[in-house]
Chains A and B, each alone.
Chain A
Amino acid sequence: MPDLKQIIRRRRREDAVFKVLGISCLVLCLGTLGALIGDLCIDGLRRIDWQFLTSFPSRFAQRAGILSAITGTFAVMLVTLLAAVPIGVAAGIYLEEYGRKKSWFSDLIELNIANLAGVPSIVYGLMALGLFVYQFKLGQSVLAAGLTLGILVLPIVIVATREALRAIPAAIREAAVALGATRWQTVRDHLLPYSMGGIATGIIIAMSRAIGETAPLVTIGALTFIAFLPPAPVTGDFPFVSFEWLQSPFTVMPIQMFNWVSRPTADFHVNAAATGLVLIFMTLGMNAAAIILRYRIRKRIKW
C-alpha cells in the first residue's frame, strides 16, 4: 500500500503545476493583447497629430489623413444605431415577456437568432450586396452600410435586452399585474426602466462591434479613397435638414486601415498603425465603459 502522505504530496504537486500552466496561458493571451497595443503605439503613435485627423487620404503617406474615414464611421454608426436599437429591443421584449408560452413561433425565432449570431459577417455583406445595393437600389451608400451593420449587430442587442429583462424578479411583474396594469403598462412603466442599464450595456457592446467591422463593408463596395465629406445634414435653406448624406459614398476607419496595410511601402504601414490606434482606442474605450456600467448596475441593484 502506497504511502498516503506521498500521494497527497504528488496531488499537491500536480495542482501546483497546473496553476503555473493556467497562469502562463492567461499571460500568453494578455501578453498578446499587450504586444498588439504596444506594437501599434510604437509604429503609429508619432503619426497621430492634428494634421492626420483632419486630412483626406492622399497618394503621399505623410500628407494623408483619416478625416473622411472618421466622418464616415460616425455617419454609418448613426444609421446602425437607429436601425438596430428599436427593432432589437422590441424583439427582445417580445421574446422575454410576450412569447413566454412555448409556441412553435417563439421556438423558431429563438433558433433563428441563435443561428444569425453565428453567421459570418461577410455573409451579411453578401446579402446586403444582393439585396440593399442592387435590389433596393440603395447603391454603395452610408444608408446601405448602416443597415448592413444594424442587421449584423441585431442579435447582440436582442440577447442583451433579454438578459436584462430576465434579471428582473418575477415579483415585480406580479405586483404590477396585481394592481391592474396591463402587459404593456408593466413593460413600459416598470420592466423597461429597471432594465435600462443592462440594455445600454448591450447597445454599447453592439456599437463597438460594428465600429470595427470591415468585411461586410468591403463586400458592399465601400470605397477606399474618399477625398470629400458627405453633404451636411443641416442646410441654410428650408427645411434646414437634409438627408442627402445617407446616399453619399463613404469610407470608414477599418477600411482605410485595410487599404493602407495592403500597400507594400512602410510609410503607409505607419498610417495604418495610427488608424488602428484610433480605432482600438474607440472600441476598447466603449468596452471599458460597458464593463464599468455593468459593474455599477450589479453593485447598485439588490432586489
Chain B
Amino acid sequence: MSASLTPTYPAVARPLRTLGRKRHRDLQEKGVELLMVLAASFSILITAGIIFVLFSEALAFFRHVSVKEFLTDTEWTPLFANPRYGIMPLVAGTLMTTGVALVVALPVGTIVAIYMSEFAPHWLRETVKPVLELLNAVPTVVYGYFALLFVAPILQKFMPDLPLFSMLSAGLVMGIMIVPYVSSLSEDALRSVPMILREGSYALGAGKLWTAVRVVVPAALSGIGAAYILAISRAIGETMIVAIAAGMQPNLTWNPGEPAQTITAYIVQVSLGDLPHGGIGYQSIFAAGLTLFLLTLAFNVAGHFLRTRLRQAY
C-alpha cells in the first residue's frame, strides 16, 4: 500500500521539474518587472495627457485669437459681448499676488530655516518642525476663508481704503502658507553643510550668526535657491486663496491694495459657470492654463537642476 503512494519518477523527471520551476519563476520575474515598468511609465502618460489637452484646446483657441493679441492686449474680457483676449491683466494679477506672498515667505522662511538649523535646541526642532508642516496640511479653501473673513477685516482697520477683496490679504495668507516650503528645503540644505566648515569659522573667532550668514548660507546657496524657486512655482499655481479673497475682475495694476483676478481664479470662475463644451470661452481656460503650465514648468525645471547640483556638491 505504502509502496504505491511513493511516486516513481523517471530518471529525467527531477531535473526537468526544477527546469520547469525555474522557467515559471523567470516568467514571473519578467511579468512583475513589466508591470512595474508600466506603472513607472504611467507618469509619462500623465505628462503627455496634460500637454496634449492643453495644446490641442489652446490651438483651437488661437485659431480665433492671434498670439499677438493674446500677449499684447491689455484687456481680458472673453465673456463680454465684444470680447478682448489679452492675458496680461491675469498674468499681472498672478505675479502681484505671488510677489506679496514672496515678500512674506522668503524672509520668514529663510530666518526660520537658519534658526532651526543653526540655533534651535534639539527638542525645539523636533517638536516645532512637524507642527510647522501642518501649515501645509490646511486645505487652501480654508486659507481662502481665513484671508477673506479674518485677515481682510483686520487689514481694513489699519487701511480704511482697502477693499474687502484685495491681492494684499490673499498674498499675505498665501505667504504664510508657503513658509514651510521655503524653510524645510532650506533647512535640509543648511544641515547638509559639513560641520568642519562651521568649526573652521568658529576657530577663526566668528560668532554663530556670523558663521551662519557668511559660511553656512553661501555653502548651501543652491539648495536655498531651489527652495525659493519651488515656493515661487507653488505661489503662481495657488488657486483657492486668490479665487476667494483676491476678487474676480481682471485688473491691470501695480497696486496690491486693489482686487484683481489671477490666471487660476479665471479658470475657476469659468468652470463654475455653465459654458458649452467647445466654445471659445471653454477654450480660453485652456489657453490660460497653458500659460500657467509654461510659467511653472520653467521654475520647476530650474529648481530640479539646482537641487541635483546640490546633491553632487557634498
Q: Is B23 in contact with chain A by the CB < 8 A criterion? A: no
Check if A29 sits within 8 Å of B141, measured CB to CB: no
CB pair A22 B115 closer than 8 Å? yes
Nearest CB in chain A: distance from B292 CB, A:
6
By size class, the interface of chain B is 35 or more
Q: Are A119 and B296 in contact (CB under 8 A)?
A: yes
Flag whether B37 is at the interface (Cβ < 8 A).
yes
Q: Does any Cβ of B come within 8 Å of A212's Cβ?
A: yes
Stretch at the interface among A50-58, A59-67, A164-172, A253-261: A253-261
Query: Which range contains the number of A residues in contact with the other chain?
Result: 35 or more
Flag if A126 contacts B285 (CB, 8 Å). yes
Number of A-B contacts (CB under 8 A): 272
Contacts of B246 in A (CB 8 A): none
Contact A279 B142 (CB under 8 A): yes
Give the docked Cα–Cα distance between A177 and B112 (Å).
45
- Residues from chain A with a CB closer than 8 A to the CB of B176 are 28-29, 32
The answer on a CB contact under 8 Å between A22 and B114 is yes
Question: B53 and A218: CB pair below 8 A?
Answer: no
Q: Choose among B50, B135, B141, B237 the residue that contacts A212 (Cβ–Cβ < 8 A).
A: B141
Say whether, besides A87-B42, A221-B271, A261 and B244 are in contact (CB < 8 Å).
yes
Which of A113, A258, A272, A280 counts the most chain B CB atoms within 10 A? A258
B138 interface residue, CB < 8 Å from A?
yes
Specify the chain B residue showing the minimal Cβ separation from A255.
B141
| Residue pair A115, B40 in contact (C-beta under 8 Å) | no
Asked if B130 and A291 sit within 8 Å, CB to CB, the answer is yes
A-B contact pairs, 14 of them (CB 8 A): A36-B138, A36-B142, A39-B150, A114-B304, A118-B300, A120-B293, A124-B50, A183-B33, A184-B28, A184-B33, A214-B141, A215-B243, A257-B142, A258-B144
**Is the CB of B188 closer than 8 A to any CB of chain A?**
no
B293 touches A123 (CB 8 A): yes
Residue of A nearest to B270 (CB): A219
- Cβ contact within 8 Å between B207 and A39: no
Given A26-B128, A276-B141, A280-B138, the answer on whether A119 and B293 have CB atoms closer than 8 Å is yes
B197 on the A face (CB < 8 A):
no
Contacts A95-B40, A126-B53; A276 near B145 (Cβ below 8 A): yes
